[in-house]
Chain A
Amino acid sequence: MSLPLITLLGRMTLAFLAAVGAVAAFAIEAVRQAAQPPWYRQQIIRQMLEIGYFSLPVVGLTAIFTGMVLALQSYTGFARFSAESAIPNVVVVSLTRELGPVLTALMVAGRVGAAMAAEIGTMRVTEQIDALTTLSTEPFKYLVVPRLIAGVVTLPILVLIADIIGVLGGFLVGVYKLDFNDAAYLRNTLDFLQFQDVFSGLVKAAVFGFLIALMGCYHGYTSKGGAQGVGMATTNAVVSASMLILTFNYFITEAFFAR
């Protein structure tokens, strides 16, 4: 009885390691290609619009409600200890360090990672990627590199915007619902905010942007078997990107703040 279980465990481990190896090889190849010309500037701009500009509504809504609920929830906790004045600080630190980058990245992974996997996957199964090669255009450079660059550059900008909108959400709830003085709320927000709080969040955002684009491209690029294959690629891109975001989030936090 015990042998089949061990066999199963071994198989799963091997499959997992093979997948990690394939993704790592893909990532290394992508970075290598990104380091040398030609760069397709139009593609990079197109992807930056796609990832950044068109994600603004989703990210903005996520941020404002997160900021609002943070203020509301921390009030119920801190009011018991008469520590209401800590609320602005709790809101801004939670947003810049954790919730801004993580929630933004998760939303973008769902929106953009899926679209990347579907687009590249369809190009794969309809031979458009082969067609690129026959037209002497390296598919990696034309499809993967612009998305990775756009992801790394755009996500920090999105997160910065999400931070600001999130703080605004907290401010609105604080001032109009919890009767904070507006000037005092802003002073408390800024006084305890450290450079590192924001900076660590932006570093996270850049890493998450890379991961989202990497997963979208990898699963799309390696998809096979028609519509079903593309569907699976899309799902896998979103799920794996989300898992990686949460995992990397912990380790980056530890690198920045662990003592």
Chain B
Amino acid sequence: MLTCEEYITPGSLNEAFAAMARHSGRYRIVAGATDTLPWARDGRAGDVNVPILIDISKIPELRALSVDDKRARIGAATPIQHFLDDPSLARALPCMPRCAVWFADDQIRAQATIGGNIVNASPAADATPCLLAHEATVELASARGQRILPLRDFVTGPNKTALAGDELLTGFECDALHGYGGSFEKVGHRRSLVISLVCLAVLVKLDAAGRRFEDVRLSIAGIGPLPLRLAEVEKSLRGGPLSAERLEQAADMPVALVASRTRQDYRRDVVRGFMLRGLINAARRAGADPDALAPELEAAYG
């Protein structure tokens, strides 16, 4: 079990920095705390005494949300459930509702935060590929000031980030992709409360006729130490038709990237299937002309 001497809930960033300075080396930051409590149990960290817990989830800057035509700014303590429930967020980040519905369960999502999912830097984190596909940047703040990093440079390895000891992840800024179709494909051992074996975020924008890809964004996790953006595959699809041939070529491309520690053959099969399913689902949600999608692929993967 987790024990602590004091549980501090700062009401502002400055209060948080002061508490961090005061208890330097003796604290742990929590937001939703849904990873921290199960971590301090037998079989994982066991009984852990953290002298000071600093709960940053009530800091207003970390809960702020704003969306305009081009960009969205998301506070790090935004609960995952908001991506399902807030229509303006859902429109700007079209793959996030699909990601959120696979994330833990309805109850944990109400408490677990987007910042916590990213900062834990699990190779299978569900939200990371979505935000990578949205070209997200992270805001890191400390008493020294603020810096901005691209998300791809922030997550540096399994459970490793560029966060400095005195810094907090306060929020994200990312592309608002209105008009895109989104999908999120995930597989684990069961439906709810499961860590991804593979997950794939897909964002698709089509031409006015709904027959060609104007933009495609793909990002995958669970197949290696880091979530990856699939830039080569995106390039191969951009400007092209929704033909079965194009989709199948694209689906084959990331198969070779599987570098996980276990179940590589299985993951290769999954990656190919997810690419087809994800592209078809996202294209359909982006308003694809029903005749433009290959019916045999749609029947098998849609």
Q: Do the two chains bind? A: no
Binding site for A on B (CB under 8 A): none
